[in-house]
Structure 1
């Protein structure tokens, strides 16, 4: 996309709208006009008269009475179309509809009615119309206790508020906000060449209410047990990012247990079931730590502040090997099995070392054997 495009976004202050605006604002070739609740009809007409593409994201989800569904989901769509009909140039229109459009309820019927307005318009004027029947969209900036169970669960769990589940086995279909925005953004490059009609956003994830709640609870617990959540699956990675966005601003930080003595301190930072753990070791000047070896456990040491020396001696031999380390030159030192080893602070200030071990510490099987280097 090289030429400038005029982009109109209705519902620009809503969940999807806010994310779309944030993404499209990065592109200097886009002229973005935001339509919100208090946008006047004259302003709306002005925006639409210059639009190349309209992202129609405005809608009603939780009205006081069912009649508002039609007003917000069909009538406003029809108002936009009637304005565009009077123009010589007909912009492409992208509609965020819902999978509920196939359901026989007030919300679903209003969404389907809004779709039909666009389909009729497209057929009459041969204009480009793209309709997305979105499943449950989740991600940052989604309002809790509104129309997203993910947002509600994230907010309540992170704020120590009980959640209520009627059916733990109820299956949810979820799509991540960034995937929605990526799809919408891709339209800007070739919407003029695309065929009108229904389009899809993926991937769509399936998860039960019970599993969703359990996973979000584990994210909360991870700050206490220091276990890094399993993020190998795309859904869990996206849920974790979403969960963190609901923390209160005074809850971003959390304390770690520091094991302190006259030599310095040792603090476990992160743990994983599959890939061991990371700890932070602080040594006072002149202090030597270690003097032990392992059968299977292996480690990586990274001095990030201060200076010192790491010494090795292979079990059963006399030769001592030395590696000088410093926070001025970041260098990872592997600690192989079968070598007794220690680390000494040679500087005049605390030496800070990031230590990774390939397994979680097991007090019943520490695999650690004292022997002076």
Structure 2
């Protein structure tokens, strides 16, 4: 199948071309403003499907709206008619087409061209009035407020929130791509005369700003956003795509002494805390028990011995662990426990605890596993 993608170097175009290739489509005709105009004649003759994504939304002069959104669409359709090519045409319009402004008028004019083209040729047309689309590779101060907020907040730049109560309808790029692939396969989601992306999200502008700011703060708080919430998950992925290339990494606070080190990695209120413990050879750590707090130990390097003793028992239970065989050891409540490095190299243990450490209620009580 030959697939023509106009505007292939734009935000949606780049993502679409990448996903088409992921799915095994190899004959993709990419057409951009920089392409030789003669290629459009060739592509419209040979294509089996058209993704018409090219358009203008922030021109220098108002007249460019009509030229880019109406004029180019007219040229594309005329070439398809010239070659008697009835390949389906998918066009990205905008919810702005419902409004009386220059951009909306130009999008509405392009839509009318498609409807008339369908009546004239009986070729399938899929018109998508997209809301605010966000995701990786979008442009700040151009495509969407999400891109602008992510770019600025990641760089400690100011953002502008004129009315925090403005309600936004957002649509994630991956959801757009899923729908476009369905259309390519002849199964678009339709509502009346238009096609729609079935998954959208509503959020107030002030809440959006607060949420994206929390992503930046999560580094210092060692927190993880709520990945159970679909919008938060998608926004966080988008935010990370806007990190400056010299700011992918961040330091953790290592608590170091002669025994080794202990470093918190992740803290969450509902999924517990993850830390990295490093013990020098011969060093024993622990010798305490908990009422409610429980842990999981995973040795990833070195050799260790984890010992347990129930409070009302003299019996000592031992688990030998090693980075050579990854094995999680649960630390039950009511058992004093310790871990000793019995190897000749550093013992590295990933430790999960069911709750972040609270100095006001540590729930940790010293008791040697092996009483002297």
2:94 is matched with which residue?
A: 98
1:265 is matched with which residue?
A: 261
1:153 is matched with which residue?
A: 149
* 2:168 aligned residue (146, 151, 172): 172
Q: Does 1:309 align with 2:294?
A: no
**1:249-304 deviation digits (Å, cap 9, x = unpaired):** 11010000000000000000001110110000000000000000000000000000
* 1:21 aligned residue (1, 17, 29): 17
In 2, are the aligned partners of 1:52 and 1:91 still within 8 Å (CA)? yes
1:147 Cα deviation (Å)? Answer: 3.1
Q: Does 1:278 align with 2:266?
A: no
Q: Does 1:287 align with 2:283?
A: yes
SS at match of 1:181: helix
* 1:190 aligned residue (174, 179, 186): 186
Q: Does 1:114 align with 2:90?
A: no
1:70 is matched with which residue?
A: 66
In 1, are the aligned partners of 2:212 and 2:239 still within 8 Å (CA)? yes
**1:60-94 deviation digits (Å, cap 9, x = unpaired):** 01011211100001110000011111112221100
1:201 Cα deviation (Å)? Answer: 0.2
1:174 Cα deviation (Å)? Answer: 0.1
In 2, are the aligned partners of 1:128 and 1:196 still within 8 Å (CA)? no
1:53 is matched with which residue?
A: 49
**1:297-325 deviation digits (Å, cap 9, x = unpaired):** 00000000000100000002100000000
**1:181-234 deviation digits (Å, cap 9, x = unpaired):** 111112222269x99941100211000110000000000000011011112110
1:126 is matched with which residue?
A: 122
Alignment of 1:246-265 (within 5 A): 246-265=242-261
1:234 is matched with which residue?
A: 230
Alignment of 1:6-45 (within 5 A): 6-45=2-41
Tell me, in whole angstroms, the C-alpha distance in 1 between the residues paired with 2:187 and 2:336: 65
**1:39-79 deviation digits (Å, cap 9, x = unpaired):** 22211010110011000000001011211100001110000
SS at match of 2:262: strand
Which range moved further: 24-33 or 324-333? 24-33
Tell me, in whole angstroms, the C-alpha distance in 2 between the residues paired with 1:27 and 1:217: 35
1:333 Cα deviation (Å)? Answer: 0.3
1:329 is matched with which residue?
A: 325
SS at match of 1:354: strand
SS at match of 1:202: coil
In 2, are the aligned partners of 1:74 and 1:114 still within 8 Å (CA)? yes
SS at match of 1:296: coil
Tell me, in whole angstroms, the C-alpha distance in 1 between the residues paired with 2:290 and 2:304: 22
**TM-score for the superposition, normalised by structure 2:** 0.97
Tell me, in whole angstroms, the C-alpha distance in 1 between the residues paired with 2:25 and 2:236: 33
Tell me, in whole angstroms, the C-alpha distance in 2 between the residues paired with 1:79 and 1:162: 42
Tell me, in whole angstroms, the C-alpha distance in 1 between the residues paired with 2:201 and 2:265: 31
Residue 29 and residue 237 in structure 1: after superposition, are their counterparts in 2 closer, same or farther (change >3 A)? closer
Q: CA RMSD in A?
A: 1.5
**TM-score for the superposition, normalised by structure 1:** 0.97
